[in-house]
Structure 1
Amino acid sequence: MDTINLFSLFASVLPLAAFYFYRVAANLLDRRRPALSTLMNEQRFNWVTQAARRDTPLDAILSGNIMSSVSFFASTTALLILALFTVIGQLHEYAPALSAITFGTHHTEIDLQIHVVVMLVLFVYAFLSFTLSLRQFNHFCILLGAMDHDKPASADEIRTIARINAMAAQRFNAGIRSYYFAIPMVAWFVSGWAAVVVTVGTVFFLLHREYFSDARWLVARITPH
């Protein structure tokens, strides 16, 4: 009877744990150095401020493009979830092929089952994030379309609409981040150590992108913080 490899279990769960604690760490870092996503929230406020002054289809086009991207990721994630369910049901057929790509590590069928379930948890979270983001962007479009251009919008109204947009973007970023942490989960099939190394690399990559990238530096130049 197959037994659970403890290191294999650790390597399976590590990307999911890193995904969660990255968000906690990012909230703490934002207090000292605003992330690129945080800086962009101020630009969302500027967007809504300008939208309140113009009566053109430009803002509807911009919103439509954003929602198309979110919808694409939501539908793609749904297909991945279905694929993982299929793998769980026929894992005994896929196990020999998956074991053939490992280097120095033999994953038992129980190890594979646990790992596929962990991947399923990550992608279900991503799907829920994308669908919630899509719903919130829809709310943003409704609020944007409901603005009365015959009189100046209040600061509270503009801030509320911008905040809805920021919430939607936050959920979208969470879904995208799930895809990043799916990379070390794929590396796990090669080796548990590969999963550990790629998890650490993914964390540093995301931290650099949000806090030290050229894009962050450029946006910080024009955004008060």
Structure 2
Amino acid sequence: MNAIALAASLFPLLALYLYQHAARIIDARRPSLSMLMNEQRFNWVTQATRRESPLDGILSGNIMSAVSFFASTTALLILALFTVIGQLPQFAPALSTVTFGFSYSVADLQVHNIVMLVLFVSAFLSFTLSLRQFNHFCILVGGLDHTRPSPPEEVRVIARINAKAAQSFNAGIRAYYFAIPMVAWYVSAWVALVVTVGTVGFLIHREYFSDARWLVAQITPH
């Protein structure tokens, strides 16, 4: 079994794990776009306590539809990977036509597809958890008593449930980003390593240095 091929297969998973932990450390010094949006979620719930309209239900429904779409798509990808893993000897000749500089064995392909399966299963679990948490959020918003001012602690708890749902959704989306170097692996293990590093750089830029982050920071105290 090719050691570099194995390292390139596992590197995206390791990078995803390390990024998630490093982001918590960076957020303490420079809030990410996701952290800044959590403040806006608090504002959303605050406004929801003051109005009796279907607006909040419509917004929540739109968000849950997007999460549900990703969960369903991920389930199909998992089934497709199961199919490919079971028929790798037949697929190997076709896959070898796109490989540059490496000759992967069937064992290399099996390990890589199993790692991809782990990645997409983690994404699926994140999306389904996000759906469940957004469902809790909808119930809590629906249970607001508009005849009296809501206690700040109640508003904070509902906003935190929304933020946790968004965090779970983002975890699933990040798994999709790191699936890109997994696909690049079929071209070359070295390409997969480079694309993994590029993916980390892209995520860091998007969360901490993008125009969207700068704009939201203008209206969010931090």
Q: What TM-score, normalized to structure 1? A: 0.98
CA distance in 2, matches of 1:54, 1:120: 45
CA distance in 1, matches of 2:8, 2:218: 40
1:195 aligns to what? 192
The C-alpha deviation readout for 1:56-108, integer Å capped at 9, x for no partner, is 00000000000000000000000000000000111111011011100111010
Q: Residue 8 of structure 1: CA displacement?
A: 0.4
Aligned partner (choices 136, 140, 151) of residue 137 of structure 2? 140
Large movers: runs of 4+ above 4 Å? none
Q: Residue 43 of structure 1: CA displacement?
A: 0.3
CA distance in 1, matches of 2:21, 2:50: 38
CA distance in 2, matches of 1:215, 1:84: 35
CA distance in 2, matches of 1:98, 1:201: 24
1:118 aligns to what? 115
Aligned partner (choices 95, 103, 106) of residue 100 of structure 2? 103
The count of aligned residue pairs is 222
Q: Residue 201 of structure 1: CA displacement?
A: 0.4
| Runs of 5+ consecutive residues of structure 1 not aligned to the other structure | none
CA distance in 1, matches of 2:119, 2:178: 8
- For 1:134-213, list aligned pairs within 5 A: 134-213=131-210
Q: Residue 153 of structure 1: CA displacement?
A: 0.3
C-alpha RMSD of the superposition: 0.3
**2:38 equivalent to 1:38:** no
CA distance in 2, matches of 1:151, 1:95: 66
* Letter paired with 2:112: H
1:25 aligns to what? 22
CA distance in 2, matches of 1:16, 1:100: 26
The C-alpha deviation readout for 1:175-198, integer Å capped at 9, x for no partner, is 000000000000000000010010
Aligned partner (choices 11, 15, 23) of residue 12 of structure 2? 15
**2:68 equivalent to 1:74:** no
CA distance in 1, matches of 2:103, 2:97: 9
Aligned partner (choices 88, 93, 97) of residue 90 of structure 2? 93
CA distance in 2, matches of 1:137, 1:93: 42
CA distance in 2, matches of 1:115, 1:91: 11
| Runs of 5+ consecutive residues of structure 2 not aligned to the other structure | none
CA distance in 1, matches of 2:57, 2:14: 38
Q: What TM-score, normalized to structure 2? A: 1.00
